[in-house]
Amino acid sequence: MQNILEQTRYKIFYIHPDNIKYCILPSVHCDYTQFNSSTIHPHAGQDRGVFKEDLGGYIRIINSDWDFGPGVLFAKLDEYQSLLNHYLGKENWKKSKFAQRYYKFLKIKKISDRGYKDADEFLNKREKQIDRLFESILKNNVHPVIIKKDKGNFIDNISLGLTKNQELYFNNRGHHRLSISKILKIKQIPIKITLAKSIKNLKKFYSKHK
């Protein structure tokens, strides 16, 4: 057991983004769910289950029934829809349901985010950031978050759970990078596995994605 966990520690895998169809189903098996954590948080538009990343870079083995069924379709998330409609020219990102949730959250909490002084500045400048992210991913793909300078940054990679059926469920980190990769039809993106159903499943996945 320890050998495969060491082999996959801080491991970046490359997969097709279309292999990620669902989020993790919210249940008592998760570390927390969006709605139990905060119903007003921008990412709590749809409830989903979340597992905490191991700060030491290890993949967690959790053999409970957390994968007894899929959660919400990733394509149904407000985060994805806001980016898709923005890309297609149907609706500016800052007018989207997700952006307005974010704006309301910052107003209620009376906090700034991402270095902006207030919610209004965030809303306007974040849309420009998103345009730059589209351009960057189209040109250079998604960059993996490497650990050369700070191993703690590894948790910021797109986070997934590996089920007993070798399905990959989204674990609530990397919404924008994954969404844009899907929208732009990128073929391979870097991800990390945060949890796996069993050592057997992890070994099988590892052997296919070394």
Q: Is 208's pLDDT higher than 90?
A: yes
Q: What's the pLDDT tens digit per position in 21-35? A: 999 999 999 999 999
- Residue 22 to residue 76: CA distance in whole angstroms: 9
- Residue 167 structure tokens: 């399905």
pLDDT the model gives residue 149: 66
pLDDT greater at residue 30 or residue 146 = 30
Nearest alpha carbon to residue 30 among 128, 145, 169, 129 = 169
Q: Is 139's pLDDT higher than 70?
A: yes
With beta carbons less than 8 A apart as the criterion, state whether 20 and 159 touch.
no
pLDDT the model gives residue 110: 67
Q: What's the pLDDT tens digit per position in 65-124? A: 999 999 999 999 999 999 999 999 999 999 999 999 999 988 887 665 566 677 888 888
With beta carbons less than 8 A apart as the criterion, state whether 10 and 152 touch.
no
- Strands (E) in the chain, as ranges, are 13-15, 20-24, 32-33, 49-50, 60-61, 70-73, 159-162, 168-170, 189-196
- Give the chain's radius of gyration (CA, Å): 17
With beta carbons less than 8 A apart as the criterion, state whether 113 and 106 touch.
yes
Dihedral pair phi/psi, residue 13, rounded to 5°: -105, 155
pLDDT the model gives residue 83: 98
User: What are the residue boundaries of the structural domains of the chain, listed by start?
Assistant: 2-208
pLDDT greater at residue 52 or residue 111 = 52
pTM for the structure as a whole: 0.93
- Residue 210 to residue 198: CA distance in whole angstroms: 18
Q: What's the pLDDT tens digit per position in 53-70? A: 999 999 999 999 999 999
Q: Is 80 helix (H, G, I), strand (E, B) or coil?
A: helix
